[in-house]
């Protein structure tokens, strides 16, 4: 469930990206939870690995760099919990990860951003330079299977979610949709997450995708005064798989380290 949804988020971008690392990826016999096969995520080209992590830290949270309303130094930390279709025989089978996303610095040419994803056994993080046109042109990156950080010059388009469209997250896509394909209900709800207690706008979206026939059942809890605006989300699929997230904290002390 989650893999298919996230795959659709990057499918239009991966084919148009390229990257050149300063050195070849290190090999590893460890399992990466964020890629296929053995080895760290860095076994993929730098731009492709980055796109996977970027999609997983923004696609369902409902914000992009353009809509995140971050000030330099501000960032958010999230807890993500999900189950996939092949785990449904065990009702307790879940995976957990923690993500961070922050604006590090702004310049006349663009901005430096930070993204990190980690589990108990693996972590990967990027500092990346994003131009105003939505192109990432430089990555400074490291994961727990690498002895030191590396730099890659890349061409990664974060300016579009889908070809010829101008949104970068699932929330943006549904907000832009005027076909009446989905039932969108808005209400107010006071909720508590680890980052605090908030008076939120709750957005429930249900329906069936005309192209795939898949059910859409997703809820966001939004707060305009919080960086990224989303403090919680919930996604369900046709097989009772789920993908849930909650805001753990938001901070103002992020800075460049590489």
pLDDT digits (tens, 9 = 90+) for 1-35: 344 444 443 333 333 333 333 443 444 443 344 44
Domain containing 80 equals 2-169
Residues 189-226: pLDDT tens digits?
Answer: 999 999 999 999 999 989 887 777 888 899 999 999 99
Task: Tell whether 22 is covered by a domain.
Answer: yes
Summarised one tens digit per residue, pLDDT across range 100-149 is 999 999 999 999 999 999 988 889 999 999 999 889 999 999 998 888 89
Residue 252 lies in a domain: no
Residue 227 is assigned to a structural domain of this protein: no
**What is the model's pLDDT at position 208?**
83
Residue 9 lies in a domain: yes
Which value, in Å, is the radius of gyration of the alpha carbons in the chain?
A: 18
Q: Please give the mean pLDDT across all residues of the chain.
A: 79
Q: What is the DSSP-derived secondary structure letter of residue 41?
A: G
pLDDT greater than 60 at residue 39: no
Whether 28 maps to a domain, the answer reads yes
3 vs 257: CA distance, rounded Å: 31
- Say if 126 falls within a structural domain: yes
Please indicate, yes or no, if residue 31 is contained in any of the structural domains.
Answer: yes
The encoded tokens of residue 152 equal 């890659």
What's the confidence (pLDDT) of residue 83?
83
Which single residue is written with the structure tokens 């809820």? Answer: 219
pLDDT category at 252 given cuts 50, 70, 90 is: very high
Domains in the chain, number:
1
Q: Which residues of 153-186 are buried (b: 16+ CB within 10 A; e: fewer)?
A: ebebbbbebeeeeebbbbbbebeeeeeeeeeeee
- This prediction has a pTM of 0.81
């Amino acid at each position: 469930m989650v893999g298919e949804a996230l795959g659709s988020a990057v499918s239009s971008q991966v084919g148009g990206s390229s990257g050149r690392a300063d050195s070849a990826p290190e090999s590893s016999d460890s399992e990466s939870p964020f890629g296929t096969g053995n080895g760290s995520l860095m076994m993929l080209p730098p731009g492709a690995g980055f796109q996977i992590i970027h999609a997983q830290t923004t696609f369902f949270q409902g914000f992009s760099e353009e809509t995140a309303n971050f000030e330099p130094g501000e960032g958010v930390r999230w807890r993500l919990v999900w189950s996939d279709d092949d785990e449904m025989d065990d009702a307790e089978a879940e995976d957990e990860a923690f993500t961070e996303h922050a604006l590090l610095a702004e310049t006349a040419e663009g901005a430096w951003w930070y993204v990190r994803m980690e589990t108990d056994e693996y972590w990967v993080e990027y500092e990346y330079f994003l131009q105003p046109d939505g192109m990432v042109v430089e990555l400074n990156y490291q994961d727990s299977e690498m002895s030191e950080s590396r730099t890659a010059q890349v061409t990664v388009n974060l300016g579009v979610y889908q070809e010829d469209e101008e949104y970068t997250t699932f929330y943006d896509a549904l907000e832009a949709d005027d076909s009446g394909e989905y039932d969108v209900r808005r209400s107010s709800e006071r909720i508590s997450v680890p980052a605090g207690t908030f008076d939120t706008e709750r957005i429930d979206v249900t329906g069936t995708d005309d192209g795939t026939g898949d059910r859409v059942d997703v809820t966001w809890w939004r707060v305009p005064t919080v960086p990224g605006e989303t403090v919680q989300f919930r996604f369900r699929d046709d097989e009772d798989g789920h993908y849930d997230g909650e805001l753990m904290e938001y901070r103002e002390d992020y800075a460049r380290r590489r």
